[in-house]
């Protein structure tokens, strides 16, 4: 069996965890599996976020289950890397957005 590298919440060493930037970086680094976390929004949309509350990763003391996916999608994850060249990749992503991105990488296991 071939060894597989698993990126926990993407490349969370370099970019904010569970962000599209972290996931893209993990792919670029050669990871073959990416582990993410899912929470459901108020309107039952799967949101890619580890915590139930947005305080730690977004800086907003609100619970994901109390907000619509549209409201959550307006937030950006904390960017401590100073790399802001593509802010859209730092929006709090939905599972649908991640799956759409991974369609370009059929060898990646989510």
The catalytic residues are 8, 50
Beta strands in the chain (DSSP E): 6-8, 33-35, 38-40, 46-48
43 within 8 A of 69, measured Cβ to Cβ: yes
Distance, CA of 96 to CA of 79 (rounded, Å): 22
Task: Give the number of other CB atoms < 10 A from CB of residue 67.
Answer: 20
Q: Strand, helix or coil at 39?
A: strand
């Amino acid at each position: 069996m071939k060894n597989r590298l698993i990126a926990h919440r993407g490349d969370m060493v370099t970019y904010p965890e569970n962000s599209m930037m972290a996931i893209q970086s993990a792919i670029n680094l050669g990871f073959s599996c990416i582990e993410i976390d899912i929470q459901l929004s108020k309107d039952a949309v799967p949101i890619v976020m580890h915590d139930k509350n947005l305080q730690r990763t977004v800086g907003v003391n609100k619970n994901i289950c109390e907000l619509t996916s549209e409201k959550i999608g307006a937030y950006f994850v904390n960017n401590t890397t100073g790399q802001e060249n593509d802010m859209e990749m730092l929006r709090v992503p939905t599972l649908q957005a991640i799956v759409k991105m991974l369609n370009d990488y059929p060898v990646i296991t989510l």
